[in-house]
Amino acid sequence: MFDVVIIGAGPIGLACGIEAKKAGLTYLIIDKGCLVNSVYNYPLNMTFFSTSDRLEIGDVPFISHGNKPNRFEALEYYRRVASSWELNLKLYEKVETVNKEEAEFVINTDRGNYKAKAIILATGFYDYPYLMNVPGEDTSKVKHYYDEPHPYFGQKVVVVGAANSAVDVALETFRKGAEVTMVVREPALLDSVKYWVKPDIENRIKEGSIKAYFNSQITEIRKWEVDVKTPDEALTIENDFVLAMTGYKPNFELMENMGIIFNSDEFHTPLYNEETQETTVPNIFLAGVVCGGLKTNKWFIENSRAHAQTIVDTIKSR
């Protein structure tokens, strides 16, 4: 029996574990993947928006070589945080069901069972990509996750998306020798694209180095080509790979099975008390990006670190 079980070993899940330990609560952090699994799955050369000090948790200094840390530095940092605090972790263990039994919860995983008085969901959103739902999307040439540009050298690549991930992928694969075409559902690239990157991609599109179709979408994917519907015509483009940077969503199924109620808004936002982070199920709390539902650009490490102390203070007071 734990005072609290934390589902998710990302930066915010670790922050919750640290606050629980500082408060003298018994706790366990469970994750179906590795430590900070979402960060691990970022592109190899990814650089954070934030400066390192805004990614710090548990009073452990985060020193990076540049103004903005990269993926490798972040992985090293969060390993050091987990080791420094000797956090109680169960990695590569998937939570399958959570059941309420009187005043306690039973957490069933693929490796065992645990009981807890409270649960913190810090599951992020990186495990479930938005699908385009077009014929051929399930073929091996379609990637919803991107790691590095080398495999796409000399290949005809279609990049789908209008946000930072799509822009980064388009520029990086182009500069490593791919022939890149962007297919963008929106009329333009999003305003949220990093300000130091946006002029670069806009100039590459303007000069024709990267071809881009706006207000457009893929309608079918085949082995050596894709069909694209544009405002003016339907095109067939020669193609080797489709990199669908269409975004990701939280594990709504787990939340719904736990009895959490959602708003009827377009973002499927879970209902919770913003003063305590408690959901509509007593003693189940939300921390981090999962609070925003489909609005995955609302919460980041730097502005949701405070959730950990808010939640633990509430649990301890009870």
- My answer on whether 119 and 14 are in the same domain is yes
- What percentage of the chain carries pLDDT values higher than 70? 100
pLDDT beyond 90 at 95? yes
Handedness of CA 65, 66, 67, 71 (dihedral sign): negative
Residues 111 and 40 in one domain: yes
Residues 259 and 123 in one domain: yes
For residues 253 and 115, state if they share a domain.
Answer: yes
pLDDT tens digits, one per residue of 259-314: 999 988 888 899 999 999 999 999 999 999 999 888 877 888 888 999 999 999 99
Burial class of residue 166 in the structure, from the number of CB atoms within 10 Å of its CB (0-12 exposed, 13-18 middle, 19+ buried): buried
At residue 299, the pLDDT reads 82
Same domain, 152 and 288: no
Query: What predicted TM-score, i.e. pTM, was given to this entire model?
Result: 0.84
Q: Which domain holds residue 200?
A: 131-244
Helix, strand, coil percentages, rounded to 5, for the chain: 25, 25, 45
The count of structural domains within the chain is 2
CATH number at 179 reads 3.50.50.60
Strand-pairing partners, residue 28, are 5
